[in-house]
Amino acid sequence: MSFKSDKCFGVMSGKPVTSYESEEEAIDGINYIKDHFNKSVPMSYYKCSKCGYYHISPKSRETESKLCDCKDENGEAIQLYDTRKAAIIRATVLAKKTGVRHNVYACPKSTGFHVTIENLDSSK
Ligand SMILES: [Zn+2]
Ligand SMILES: [Zn+2]
């Protein structure tokens, strides 16, 4: 059975994400979305390290990423990238989009890298 998580929330929506008890159910969930919403966005599933269940999410075109236990200044979970290269690619995309420089740093808590907005005030 799928159910709404009480631990995990969508990065964009802030709403509880759908959780699946097994890989098979997550795959079913992906197929359901494909059939019913005619989404051309490729979806993927992952085992959540936070709640232990499976979630599905749109496959990022640019990089594979997941969420970390680290929180940003707004208390939101931040994206974790497996490799420095993936994080740099993401930082470059964000910089182009927003016109703000982004930095990449190694996660202090787990294995991976984060992208952060460069704090211009502290560099003065
Ligand atoms: Zn979760
Ligand atoms: Zn982290």
Q: Any idea which residue has 């208390």 for tokens?
A: 75
Residue 62's pLDDT is 45
Residue 87's pLDDT is 92
pTM (2 d.p.)? 0.47
Residue 39's pLDDT is 60
C-beta pairs of 84-89 under 8 Å, 24+ apart in sequence: 84/113, 86/113, 87/63, 87/112, 87/113, 87/114, 87/115, 89/62, 89/63
Q: Cβ atoms within 10 A of the Cβ of 9, count?
A: 16
Compute, in angstroms, the gap from residue 29 CA to the centroid of ligand 2. Answer: 28
Instruction: Indicate whether 40 and 87 sit together in one domain.
Output: no
Instruction: Indicate whether 82 and 112 sit together in one domain.
Output: yes
Using the predicted structure, report yes or no on whether residue 84 has a pLDDT greater than 70: yes
Instruction: Indicate whether 84 and 115 sit together in one domain.
Output: yes
List the domain range (segments joined by +) for residue 35: 2-58
Give the mean pLDDT of 82-104.
91
Domains contained in the chain, number: 2
Amino acid letter for position 59: K
Instruction: Indicate whether 13 and 41 sit together in one domain.
Output: yes
Instruction: Indicate whether 80 and 99 sit together in one domain.
Output: yes
Q: Sign of torsion, CA 83 86 90 95?
A: positive
Compute, in angstroms, the gap from residue 55 CA to the centroid of ligand 1. Answer: 7
> How far is 116 from 21, CA to CA, in rounded Å?
32
Instruction: Indicate whether 36 and 14 sit together in one domain.
Output: yes
Instruction: Indicate whether 45 and 7 sit together in one domain.
Output: yes
Compute, in angstroms, the gap from residue 11 CA to the centroid of ligand 2. Answer: 15
Confidence of residue 44 (pLDDT cuts 50, 70, 90): confident
Instruction: Indicate whether 119 and 69 sit together in one domain.
Output: yes
Confidence of residue 117 (pLDDT cuts 50, 70, 90): confident
Domain end call among 58, 79, 94: 58
Compute, in angstroms, the gap from residue 24 CA to the centroid of ligand 1. Answer: 16
Instruction: Indicate whether 75 and 113 sit together in one domain.
Output: yes
